[in-house]
Structure 1
Amino acid sequence: MNTRLATNQIRLSEWTRIIKDRCQSGIKVDEYCERHQLSRHAYYYWLRKVKEAALIHNSFVELPALPEKTVPATTSENLFTYQMTIAIGNTILGVSESTPMELLSKVLEVVRNA
């Protein structure tokens, strides 16, 4: 392993820990950065790098389970049966076998860049 790659892996590991710590603390990014004397710019730069690394190295990302009541049930008004639902904040995305891959790809790209 070359030095540059090793250094990047160490930084990535450290920033992964920092980002997890900030998420678990429940405080806003600006406040967390101020308390820990971190640059807001650096935080978001490494957040992007950590996300990119997670997408490259993992084909699955662990998501917290949602309470059952937040996932829409199939009713006569909702004729779609979802094989998977993706919840982001108050938005729920239902995905079925008939969902066009091109549409799903574009939606996930927009979500990732939001």
Structure 2
Amino acid sequence: MDVQIVTHEVRLQKWTDIVKTCRSSGKTIKKWCADNDIDIKRYYYWQRKVYLQTCRELENVQKSIHTTFPCDETPVFAEINLPKNNAGNIAVSIHRDTMQVNVYSGADAATVETVFAALRQL
């Protein structure tokens, strides 16, 4: 591994620790920097570098999520048990091509999650 890359990673980790410590201190950034004898402009420089690295990492994670789960064309079926007393009280009706999905009022969270998980597979 390149020495410059390792040096940058070590610095970035140090800056990340400083930013986390400051943010969790309960003090304002100005007060925390003064108490810790850190130039506030330097602190904001470090914070910006940590922020940019975090954004890059998040972007890489999002890219890997989209490429990790290929679309499977196999139909997915999920059994949903609806309460008897809500028959006729459709809260949500989803239509796609020749398919129709109805979610009734009072459906529990697990049922709704199952419906949307099945729809994501389509």
| TM-score (norm. length: structure 2) | 0.46
Higher CA-based Rg: 2
| TM-score (norm. length: structure 1) | 0.49
Tell me which of the two structures has the higher relative contact order, counting C-alpha pairs closer than 8 angstroms and 6 or more residues apart: 2
